[in-house]
Structure 1
Amino acid sequence: MDSLELLQALSDAPGVSGNEAAVRKIIREAIQDHVDEIRVDSLGNLIARKRPASSSAGLRVMVAAHMDEVGFMVVGIGSDGLLKFRSVGGIDARIVLSKTVRVGEDGVPGVIGIKPIHLTDYAEINSVPKIEDLVIDIGARGQEDAKKSVKAGDWAYFDTHFSHIGDLVKGKAFDDRAGCAVLAEILKEDYPFELYAAFTVQEELGLRGARVAAYDINPDVAFVLEGTIADDLPKDKDTSPTTEVGKGPAITFMDRSVIPDRRLIRLLVETAEANGIPYQFRRALGGGTDAGRIHLAREGIPSAVVSVPCRYIHSPAALLSPEDFNHTIQLMTHALKRLPDVWSDMEEKRPR
């Protein structure tokens, strides 16, 4: 399958944090012919090793993207057969009302329910309901009927299907299936160093998988691939959106979890400009990525973050530009191939 078909398969797959098996299976099948080793660690990270094509630069490089998505977990079943649930990862309660979801291993269809507006008073209409006050309705006739299909502890995920909308594509979980698809694509190329691809788990719950993977791999340098926020819709006063869809991959210079290595940022910028690849900077300082854990592993690992801008992430339907997606693949491929040539100079400029 081509890169966009892979993105579609990954986006459509269920993979709430802690339940990444379906995503892991798709990735394994996509990359197995392009790497030398594949293994899954005890936490669930899929780690692929790609040996140097020829003489090695003596580098060990890690590129990471997380497999998990935000979603829900069933915490109880009422006597009426309605499912009580909690969010897994950061989800805005305003966007879940009346959304369709799939629950459990069998993907039981359900609807997130709320009291009809006809029965709602003014105060309720003008307030945001709490997740714990909502339910998932799977059409069960009661508790025992519901228990035939689902159980407490089951994951639930948005029932969204990949599609094209104008020049953009729509899907769920572009954070971070977009990064996973980019990483799978760059593995098709050869590099003059040892490359480790880490498809990590449980990023949405505190960057958990990345911490384990980075300690295990112990790379000299790391890159993290993400699907990041694009807040580029019209506003009365804001003239500095976080990122903009259609303006190329976004390079992070700081967020809440990491200050990326400026030498790697310079490598990315120079690579983009030398190859005519559009790029932008991620201008929001909030949020975090797997780089927040990776750069602190062992004695510290120089790290950088490159993202595909996405509108409406952490929601049932996000949008991204296929051009941004493809430009991210191009930028990372070219930057990785240039890395050995600039590494010795980067070492000389290491902060003391």
Structure 2
Amino acid sequence: MSQIPDLDIDLLRSLCLTPGAPGSETLVRELVLDQIKDYVDHVETDPLGNLVAIKKGRNPGKVLVAAHMDEISFIITHIDPDGFAKFHTLGGFDPKTLTSQRVIVHGKEDVLGVIGSKPIHLMSPEERQKAPKLKDYFIDFGMSADRVKALVQIGDKVTRERDLVELGDCVSTKSLDNRISVFILIETLKRMATPAVDFYAVFTVQEEVGLRGATTVTRKINPDFGFGLDTTIANDLPGSSEAEYITKLGGGAAVKIMDSSVITDSRMVRFMEDVAKRNKIPTQREILTGGGTDTAAIQRSGDGAIVGCVSIPTRHIHSVVEMCHKGDIDHAISLLQHCLEELDQFSHDWA
């Protein structure tokens, strides 16, 4: 049995618990900047809010690695006369995961609330059989309407409230999508020596609402190579056949073959797997039939780039109990680090 790595859990917890709804990533960006500023040659924030850190390489060329800072969240759309708030999603949600959750509304001050819905005791037999819908939920602040309206207004962002816990060989919390990738990119910068080419470590914004940050920043940098860094589904659960797993927790870092937004470059897949084999890094292949990542924006923007993606297997994705295996996290750091350090060995020849 392989040894479970000693990860900086305190940093990971801070990243996951720091609020960062799409378009409101300031606090996460400040935390990341504090962690990386001593490990890069230059760092800047672009007009959209992407944090761009540059580490000079040994050879000509540019590689961009993107990890998005934003988390799936909500936005307040209405406050009724009794002080209950309605909301809309920022990113993809399965409504059934919202039942009985705590949230934080980032208004004039942070306000804790709970998501409520009609009690089952009052539902008709027909209502009990229906899947919940977003419109069935509201936020209850436990305070008077006047107090709510003094603190909360339409347009305020809402994030979920859930601490990080260690479960066996895993970590579980909200927003591992995609703070686990932010963590991996930070740790890669800390561990690595000199990259093969100029390395642009980009912590992007607004991925969950359409890859917006990655699209603009890639257009400006116009890299030769690119890597997405994001979570993927580990459906290795009761009731699922092996064909439905996508990836498996503890199976190693995942090398993306495709998702609904990108087909990665076959030369890059070959390079990543060769690097993993040389350095004895466990990997598994990923084909995700739904969903997409910043990898697609990197591939399509500018002149187009030769892209790959390091994916982190994640159970219970887009919920408050997302789960990643510590070994997979460590292997993802190692794979990305070695790919960046050995990119001068990449072969442009088609198989």
1:282/1:192 Cα in 2 relative to 1: closer, same or farther (>3 Å)?
A: closer
Partner of 1:63: 65
How many residues are matched? 343
Deviation at 1:350, TM superposition (A): 6.1
Q: Tell me which of 293, 298, 302 is aligned to 2:302.
A: 298
Deviation at 1:157, TM superposition (A): 1.1
Residue identity opposite 1:169 in structure 2: V
Aligned counterparts, 1:230-241, within 5 A: 230-235=234-239, 237-241=241-245
Deviation string for 1:216-256 (max 9, x for gaps)? 11111001111111111022645441111111111111111
Deviation at 1:156, TM superposition (A): 0.8
Deviation at 1:171, TM superposition (A): 1.2
Identity within the alignment, %: 39
Aligned counterparts, 1:97-136, within 5 A: 97-105=99-107, 106-136=109-139
Deviation at 1:291, TM superposition (A): 1.1
Aligned counterparts, 1:217-236, within 5 A: 217-235=221-239
Residue 290 of structure 2 corresponds to residue 286 of structure 1:
yes
> Where do 4+ consecutive residues of structure 1 move more than 6 Å?
none
Partner of 2:3: none
**d(CA) in 2 for partners of 1:285 and 1:78?**
40
Q: Which runs of 5+ in 2 are unaligned?
A: 1-5
Residue 323 of structure 2 corresponds to residue 319 of structure 1:
yes
Residue 211 of structure 2 corresponds to residue 207 of structure 1:
yes
**d(CA) in 2 for partners of 1:234 and 1:115?**
30
Q: 2:260 touches 2:288 (CA, 8 Å); kept in 1?
A: no
Residue identity opposite 1:60 in structure 2: K
Partner of 1:195: 199
TM-score after normalising by structure 2 = 0.94
Deviation at 1:38, TM superposition (A): 1.2
**d(CA) in 1 for partners of 2:337 and 2:184?**
10
- Measured on the aligned residues, the alpha-carbon RMSD in Å equals 1.6
Determine helix, strand or coil for the equivalent of 2:276. Answer: helix
Partner of 2:25: 20
**d(CA) in 1 for partners of 2:241 and 2:48?**
45
Deviation at 1:5, TM superposition (A): 2.6
Partner of 2:177: 175
Residue identity opposite 1:296 in structure 2: R
Residue identity opposite 2:321 in structure 1: A
Q: 1:177 touches 1:227 (CA, 8 Å); kept in 2?
A: no
Q: 2:196 touches 2:340 (CA, 8 Å); kept in 1?
A: no
Deviation at 1:136, TM superposition (A): 0.3
Q: 2:195 touches 2:342 (CA, 8 Å); kept in 1?
A: no
Q: 1:59 touches 1:340 (CA, 8 Å); kept in 2?
A: no
Q: Tell me which of 252, 260, 263 is aligned to 1:259.
A: 263
Aligned counterparts, 1:16-165, within 5 A: 16-52=21-57, 56-105=58-107, 106-142=109-145, 144-165=146-167
Determine helix, strand or coil for the equivalent of 1:203. Answer: coil
**d(CA) in 2 for partners of 1:134 and 1:192?**
51
